[in-house]
Amino acid sequence: MAVYDHTAVKPDGTEVPLSDYAGKVLLIVNTATGCGFTPQYEELEAIYAKYRDQGFEILDFPCNQFANQAPESDEEIHQFCTLKFGTEFPQFKKGDVNGDNANPLFVELATTKPFQGFNGLKKIVMNKVAKSVDKEFGDKAYIKWNFTKFLVARDGTILERFEPTVSMGDVEKAVAAQL
């Protein structure tokens, strides 16, 4: 199965074929409203505003699987993101990225580009946290934490995985290189 073979569900229940995004560079991210990485929404929106006219989209998939950091309803999450960070990129229905009910898109993304480790100053803390997630989901712990990002080329090829500890400057450079 390819990225464009998947569908995503909007908060109102409407299914969106990801083939609607064919020909665009995508950054697919699982997010949460109460995470230490939540301020990345601001940087994501800045990248989106800068590059969306060049065929770039960010697809936001809220997830509550990491320390209950997105307990709100889809509508409350959307309001939080738009009011606090001014996000304009597409946001989809909150769902799982790990376990038996994981979104098949994230299963494909994470098995194509598996976890290679955290980096930066938060590496030690994040490694400990990730081990608890691994115990909870076993061999279906595809994503280690909120704000894991996947860069997808215009042809649907999954190019890179960025853990939440990767600098947003590095993420932006990778996006710009594809445009």
Taken in order of first residue, the domains within the chain and their CATH numbers are: 3-178 (3.40.30.10)
Instruction: Check if 81 is active-site.
Output: no
Q: Read off the pTM.
A: 0.95
Q: How far apart are CA 108 and CA 7, in angstroms?
A: 13
Tell me the C-alpha to C-alpha distance, in Å, between residue 45 and each of 52, 100, 111, 120, 165.
10, 31, 27, 22, 18
pLDDT by residue for the chain (179 residues), tens only, comes to 689 999 999 999 999 999 999 999 999 999 999 998 999 999 999 999 999 999 999 999 999 999 889 999 999 999 999 999 999 999 999 999 999 999 999 999 999 999 988 988 788 888 888 888 888 888 899 999 999 999 999 999 999 999 999 999 999 999 999 99
Q: Choose, from 29, 35, 105, 110, the residue flagged as catalytic.
A: 35
